[in-house]
Amino acid sequence: MWVLAAFAVVVFLGAVFWTDPVEDQTYTLGAIVLLLWALSLVVVAEAFAAPAPEIDPRSKVMDRLRARLARGFRWIMAITTTGLFGFVILLSFKSLGLLIRG
């Protein structure tokens, strides 16, 4: 994933600094989309690597509250990540359309 992200950064910097500004910036958008995909996948891999904590009904109130907050944060991360993936998918289709049309 990190190699893919580094490649996207190199393509983006190449498109920004070594091309004429009035030229078509299709490759810049493609590099940004590629970087967004790599970063989104890294976020999912890091955020959901460990399972959510179990809520033990016999534990103390603060421990149960801490476990519920951790599970709630996981839900918020899952919903946010899903929304960002939807945005990246739409941006991917736009970038692909620009690449195909030339």
Question: What is the domain extent for residue 11?
Answer: 2-101
Helix (H, G, I), strand (E, B) or coil at 52: coil
From 8-12, 21-25, 33-37, 71-75, the region with the lowest mean pLDDT:
21-25
- Judged against a pLDDT cut of 90, whether residue 16 lies above it is answered with no
Q: Return the H-helix or E-strand segment holding 14.
A: helix 2-17
In this prediction, residue 76 has a pLDDT band, given cuts at 50, 70 and 90, of very high
Q: Which amino acid is at 41?
A: L
Residue 74 has pLDDT above 80, yes or no: yes
Which tokens sit at 29? 């958008």
Count structural domains, the chain: 1
Q: Are the beta carbons of 4 and 38 closer than 8 angstroms?
A: yes
Q: What is the pLDDT of residue 26?
A: 72
Q: What is the pLDDT of residues 36-48, one digit of tens each?
A: 888 888 888 888 8
pTM, two decimals, is: 0.70
Report d(CA 102, CA 90) in Å as an integer.
18
- Asked whether the predicted pLDDT for residue 102 surpasses 70, the reply is no
